[in-house]
Amino acid sequence: MTLKYFLEITVDGVEKAIAAERGGADRIELCADLPVGGLTPSRELQRSVRGTVHIPVYSMIRPRAGSFVYADSEFAEMERSVAVATECGMDGVVLGVLQKGFKVDVGRTRRLVDLARPLPVTFHRAFDECTDLRKALEAVIQTGAARVLTSGGATTAVEGAAKLAQLIAMARDRILILPGAGITHSNIAKVAEKTGAIEFHAGLGTVLPYSSRDYNAWEVEVRKLSKQLSGLL
């Protein structure tokens, strides 16, 4: 079987989504408010992006910035947001729920995974706040999520490459580990080599400001990433 690397790009608008697709992205993570780590995008933005690009689009489900421990009212908002994402034709959702003590909230996360079906769920970098990543991985697997977006608990995926490799070995065919954080065209090949990952996530915040509206530059950076992955095949 021919190995296929997969590139996910985070965007916060229609123009960036178009530029990411032109640059060779395989999937889009759609967010609002990227400077705070990404929040749930509006219904209108989801519909606009879904109606414009042809690659898969995953919607962030995160009601506010800060802690990933949510009040009942916030969790109810997340449930409604999953329904909106389905209604808007999203191809998947991205979310993460923790308990106090920096552990995965298996019950609540499983509830959202079940609500999202048949859409796949990516458990986002709330994972990296967990005190024991090995136990956290087993917990996320219990929820039925399809992926874990993680830097291996480090500031960047490059710094967490050794832990990412361990997580990928642990995950086997049970769940997909999606390295992310600080990935650029200059280090994505190194991350691939050191981790054995086949999917990669980039927000390009270390290359271009999130506020940038230079969509040509955005497309160029995505194309550089895609080209690096193609060169590994």
Task: State yes or no: pLDDT of 2 exceeds 60.
Answer: no
Q: State both tokens at 113.
A: 């995974």
pLDDT > 60? residue 71 = yes
CATH number at residue 12: 3.20.20.380
pLDDT tens digits for 96-151?
Answer: 999 999 999 999 999 999 999 999 999 999 999 999 999 999 999 999 999 999 99
- Number of other CB atoms surrounding residue 212 within 10 Å: 13
Token duo for residue 148: 């874990």
Residue 1 lies in a domain: no
Q: What is the pTM of this model?
A: 0.96
Does 36 fall in a domain?
A: yes
Domain boundaries, position 21:
6-230
In a domain, 118, yes or no: yes
CB burial class (10 A; 0-12, 13-18, 19+) of residue 74?
middle
Nearest residue to 191 via CA among 159, 223, 220? 159
What is the per-residue pLDDT across 28-53, written as a single tens digit (0 to 9) for each?
A: 999 999 999 999 999 999 999 999 99
Which is higher by pLDDT, 146 or 206?
A: 146
Residue 210 lies in a domain: yes
State the virtual CA torsion across 207, 39, 170, 144 in degrees, nearest 10: -150
Q: What is residue 126's three-state secondary structure?
A: helix
Crossing angle of helices 215-230 and 188-195, rounded to 10° = 40
44: CB partners within 8 A, 6+ apart: none
Could you count the other beta carbons within 10 Å of the beta carbon of residue 62?
A: 28
- The total of structural domains in the chain comes to 1
The two tokens of residue 40 are 């749930």
